């Protein structure tokens, strides 16, 4: 049986300008010229390899997690699968369809949730979902019923459904993004850090609903997350990506067993992550832009 999602030697690079800042040095009296900064763009451009020769398959109905530090290539990989970026080399297929040659057909298979979800901010949560329902081809009454059902399942307060998105918290906005993606029970769901900004109760609500959708609709999920407990709970298999390359692919249980020591200590998934990426917990806390 053909895998739901296939990446075969997929790579993606970006060309970036390098900007340097240097102190202007000393003034004519030999004193340091405070506040004088020279800002210039180097004539050369640097190639950043965001994803390097990555190959993997995700089976139908599987929840496949991708873990990695900020800037490791997680989001770039998700964007290639969702047709938002074109691979420089290799191929990416969703249910047998190429993301470049068949991108419009691929988009009918997938829904995506990301940390930078876009909305009509002046419209309410319900108005945004009703608009999405029309785009998905749902009848207005069915779209309204489905929107209310999912929002309630996600623990979204009924008193907030008619409040404009710009007046809702980041966590509530993320719940609306998740509800929008799940309105049609997509056959493939790409979740790029979906629970970022949610409180622990809301996070558990979202996780439970993702599991429910997978169990009842055979939905295939790719999940990127920084939450190791979330990955451990949800994922059938996990890939650890570092500097654009997969350094391990296995079930959470097998990854932890692989790094168990002779004293019978079974490491946490977080400890396995640090071992595989060569990062320390302090480095993991440093904020940065992902690619």
Reported as a pLDDT band with limits 50, 70 and 90, residue 237 is: very high
| pLDDT value, residue 30 | 47
* Rounded-to-integer distance, Cα 73 and Cα 64, Å: 16
Mean pLDDT score, 76-95: 95
Percent of the chain whose predicted confidence (pLDDT) is above 70 = 84
Residue 119 pLDDT > 80, yes or no? no
Full DSSP string of the chain: ---SEEEEEEEEEEEEEEEEEEE--B-TTS-B-TT-EEEEEEEEEEEEEEEEEEEEEE-TT-EEEEE--TTSSHHHHHHHHTTSS--SEEEEEETTEETTTTHHHHHHHEEEE-TT----TTSBHHHHHHHHHHHTT--HHHHHHHHHHHHHHTT--GGGTTSBGGGS-HHHHHHHHHHHHHTT--SEEEEESTTTT--HHHHHHHHHHHHHHHHHH--EEEEE-S-HHHHHHH-SEEEEEETTEEEEEE-HHHHHHHT--TTSPPPPHHHHHHHHHT--HHHHTS-----
Mean pLDDT score, 147-170: 88
Condensed to tens digits (0 to 9), the pLDDT of residues 1-53 reads: 579 999 999 999 988 766 554 444 444 444 444 444 445 455 567 888 999 99
Condensed to tens digits (0 to 9), the pLDDT of residues 218-230 reads: 899 999 999 999 9
Residue 193 contacts residue 224 (beta carbons within 8 Å): yes
Residue 217 pLDDT > 90, yes or no? no
Instruction: Classify residue 170 as exposed, middle or buried by CB count within 10 Å of its CB (0-12, 13-18, 19+).
Output: exposed
| pLDDT value, residue 43 | 53
| pLDDT value, residue 169 | 85
pTM: 0.81
**Domains of the chain with CATH codes:** 5-284 (3.40.50.300)
Residue 268 pLDDT > 60, yes or no? yes
What mean pLDDT is reported for the chain?
84
Percent of the chain whose predicted confidence (pLDDT) is above 90 = 42
Reported as a pLDDT band with limits 50, 70 and 90, residue 83 is: very high
Residue 74 contacts residue 273 (beta carbons within 8 Å): no
- CA atoms within 13 Å, Cβ hemisphere of 69: 22
Condensed to tens digits (0 to 9), the pLDDT of residues 126-144 reads: 998 988 888 888 888 888 8
Condensed to tens digits (0 to 9), the pLDDT of residues 55-71 reads: 999 999 999 999 999 88
| pLDDT value, residue 222 | 96
Mean pLDDT score, 191-197: 86
| pLDDT value, residue 37 | 47
| pLDDT value, residue 32 | 46
| pLDDT value, residue 288 | 41
Condensed to tens digits (0 to 9), the pLDDT of residues 197-215 reads: 788 988 888 898 889 888 8
| pLDDT value, residue 33 | 44
Q: What is the largest CA-CA distance in the chain?
A: 78
- What does each C-alpha distance from 268 to 55, 124, 211, 218, 285 come to in angstroms? 26, 41, 22, 29, 17
Is 47 or 281 the better-scoring residue by pLDDT?
47
- Residue 91 neighbours by CB under 8 Å, 6+ apart: 6, 7, 8, 9, 10, 98
């Amino acid at each position: 049986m053909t895998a739901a999602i296939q990446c075969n030697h997929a790579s993606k690079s970006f060309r970036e300008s390098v900007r340097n800042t240097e102190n202007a040095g000393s003034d004519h009296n030999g004193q340091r010229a405070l506040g004088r900064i020279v800002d210039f763009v180097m004539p050369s451009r640097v190639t950043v390899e965001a994803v390097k020769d990555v190959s993997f398959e995700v089976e139908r109905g599987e929840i496949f997690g991708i873990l990695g530090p900020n800037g490791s290539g997680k989001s770039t990989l998700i964007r290639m699968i969702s047709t938002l970026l074109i691979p420089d080399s290799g191929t990416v297929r969703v249910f047998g369809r190429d993301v470049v040659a068949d991108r419009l057909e691929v988009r009918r298979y997938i829904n995506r949730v990301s940390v930078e979800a876009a909305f009509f901010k002046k419209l309410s949560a319900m108005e945004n979902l009703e608009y999405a329902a029309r785009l998905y081809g749902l009848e207005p009454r069915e779209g309204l019923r489905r929107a209310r059902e999912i929002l309630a399942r996600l623990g979204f307060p009924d008193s907030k459904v008619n409040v404009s998105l710009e007046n809702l918290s980041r966590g509530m906005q993320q719940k609306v993004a998740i509800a929008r993606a799940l309105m049609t029970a997509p056959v493939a769901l790409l979740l790029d850090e979906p629970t970022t900004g949610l409180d622990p109760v809301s996070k558990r609500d979202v996780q439970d609903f993702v599991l429910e959708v997978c169990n009842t609709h055979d939905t295939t999920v790719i999940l990127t997350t920084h939450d190791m407990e979330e990955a451990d709970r949800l994922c059938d298999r996990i890939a650890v990506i570092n500097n654009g390359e997969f350094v391990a692919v296995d079930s959470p249980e097998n990854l932890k067993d692989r790094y168990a020591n002779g004293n019978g200590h079974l490491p946490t998934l977080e400890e396995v992550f640090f071992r595989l990426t060569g990062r320390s917990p302090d480095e993991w806390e440093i904020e940065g832009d992902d690619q």
